[in-house]
Amino acid sequence: MNNETIICECGHVNKVGTEMCAACGKPLTDKAQQEGVNMRYEGAAIRSKKRKVTLLDRIWGFFSSVKVGIWIIVLLLLASALGTIFPQDNLRPGLEEPAAFYEREYGAPGLAYYNLGLHELYSSWWYITLIIALGVSIIVASFDRGIPLYKALKAQRVTRHKHFMTRQRLYSKSTIAHPDDELTKVAEALKQKRYKVRVENGNILAEKNRFARWGPYVNHVGLILFLIGCLARYIPGMYVDTSMWIREGERAPIPETDSEYFVENRGFSISLYDEEDERFQEAFESGQSVVPEAFETDAVLYKREGLIGDGDLEMIEEKLIRVNDPLTFDSLSLYQTDYRLNELNQMTFTLENKETNETFGEMTINLIDPEKHYDLGDGYSVVLENYYPNFYMNSNNEPSTLNQIPDNPYFIFNMITPETPEGETSFVGIQQNLEPLGDNDYKMTFVDVDLVNVSILTVRKDLTLPLLIAGGTIFIIGLVQGSYWAHRRVWLQKSGEDVLIAAHTNRNWMSFQREVEQSVKDTALTPPKDQEEETDQDTKGA
């Protein structure tokens, strides 16, 4: 024996830490001699079980630990569950500011959820770190145990050490006159049961379903592919799941395409279930009175030719985007997922003298892209000093906006006239006309409003899906491989007129024992007994 290897008396060279010889099964340590055989990894030397010497050994031992792997999985499950308490930022509806949304919808817990960063949990560095740690743990554990197991099974010989035979759970000893004939009969019977039989010096090793031992490792391969697929979603361009709002008549760049593709909304239409239809009366009574039957967007896809800013748009495709019938191009799909009817689009005001009620021109404000200055002619003009599309008073009691959707537009105008060249300030909202700096001579008077329908499209791209499907499929294959089949081995060994029978499997011991008994029933050999069961009975009897 040297510092790296142990040479068994059979001549096989084993690594230090091996509990029993991989070839003949002779115990190589005091522990193996006293406690019996370790069939989980065939007694092979596991690197993580060796003495920790270097930093790499300690890191290897840490990640190969089953306990560490389980803790990582538990932490991932808890974190994943935590992320489902409230919707993630990319899944929340509307375009409202995140802090305002979580506080408005869920109160103090929602605000705490936002402040702790849980609204973007699945893209947080620590969550990604946990996924990577789980992947490293699976890879290290697979190499740590899989390679020694493979070498041990590959090196196993037919003739095994007596200690190995007697310490197997199923074991029997027979003394007969002509053992060779009996062993031949048993070998033929085992072949009938699809065992692969090897004969060496008259001894027999029958084995089947060895591939079942690799089920857990196939599982690991599937999990690794699945985790790689999950991590690949964080690579730009691999995964897109966002939404875009596009109003009728609008042409807008599609997110995540670097303004290479544009989509135009030629019109939005919706059809509702007939409220008078007797077939739906029960549903209408239990739910809303207005239920959409279908809605669609008449869309046109464009692609930019040339540089951003001076390129022309080439029409690529026209399509009616319906629910579950997306517009698909260049790995991207536009799904019709939601809509808004009659959204405020434009508002028209006139400048009015409060005393004479005389008006001076009209100005129309585009609520999505308002202008700064409006010239009404004859020395009358209005400057839009500030605009709040969805007005509210923030915690500092200052005017602010929840988002850029014009649900509750408010304006701060500076009205300039020949009589007031310095201008007068007016704070105008829906049914509100305030004068925060004192009484004015003029006011802004509402004239008209223009409404528009909005299509809400989901932009989706997922290049990780093949990896996820492959990983999930391989995982299921490994699960079936390791769960449905069992690795079964039977050893028959001569020692003079004595014949030793030992057998081992990793599950389904009763059916395995029955299978071995059937193989030896027409011979003079004693069927193997379950030593573990006999020990339990002796213990109970005592």
Please tell me the distance from the alpha carbon of residue 454 to that of residue 269, in angstroms, as a whole number.
Answer: 10
**How far is Cα 392 from Cα 400, in angstroms, rounded to an integer?**
5
Residue of 536 and 530 predicted with greater confidence = 530
pLDDT digits (tens, 9 = 90+) for 252-273: 999 888 889 999 999 999 988 8
Task: Examine the pLDDT at 541 and tell me if it is beyond 70.
Answer: no
Mean pLDDT computed over 536-541: 65
Q: How far apart are the first and last CA of the chain?
A: 43
pTM to 2 decimals? 0.73
Residue 324 CB: number of other CB atoms within 10 A? Answer: 7
In sequence order, the 6+-apart residues with CB closer than 8 A to the CB of 420 are 441, 442
Selected residue with higher pLDDT from 493 and 48: 493
Q: Is the pLDDT of residue 139 over 60?
A: yes
* b/e per residue 343-357 (b: at least 16 CB within 10 A): bbbbbebbbbeeeee
| Mean pLDDT computed over every residue of the chain | 88
pLDDT score at 195: 95
Q: Mean per-residue pLDDT for 371-394?
A: 91
For 21, residues 6+ apart whose C-beta sits below 8 A from its C-beta are: 8, 10, 12, 14, 28, 43, 161
Summarize pLDDT for 8-21 with one digit per residue, the tens.
Answer: 888 888 887 788 88
- The confidence band for 2, taking pLDDT boundaries of 50, 70 and 90, is very low
pLDDT tens string 466-482: 999 999 999 999 999 99
pLDDT tens digits, 320-344:
999 989 999 989 999 998 898 999 9
Residue 1's pLDDT is: 42
Convert the pLDDT of each residue in 479-509 to its tens digit: 999 999 999 999 999 887 789 999 999 888 9
pLDDT in tens, 399-425: 888 778 898 999 999 999 998 898 999
Whether residue 42 is predicted with pLDDT greater than 70 in this model: the reply is yes
Lowest mean per-residue pLDDT among 273-277, 486-490, 521-525: 273-277
pLDDT value at residue 540: 63
- Please determine, for residue 53, whether its predicted confidence score (pLDDT) is greater than 80: no
Q: Which residue has tokens 């009366």?
A: 281
pLDDT, greater one: 6 or 442 = 442
381 contacts 362 by C-beta, under 8 angstroms: no
Q: What is the mean pLDDT of residues 284-305?
A: 82
Confidence band of 126 (pLDDT split at 50, 70, 90): very high
Q: What's the pLDDT tens digit per position in 436-448?
A: 888 889 999 999 9
Beta pairing, strands 312-322 & 327-329: unpaired
Length in residues, the chain: 542
What tokens does 226 get? 């699945």
DSSP state of 81: H
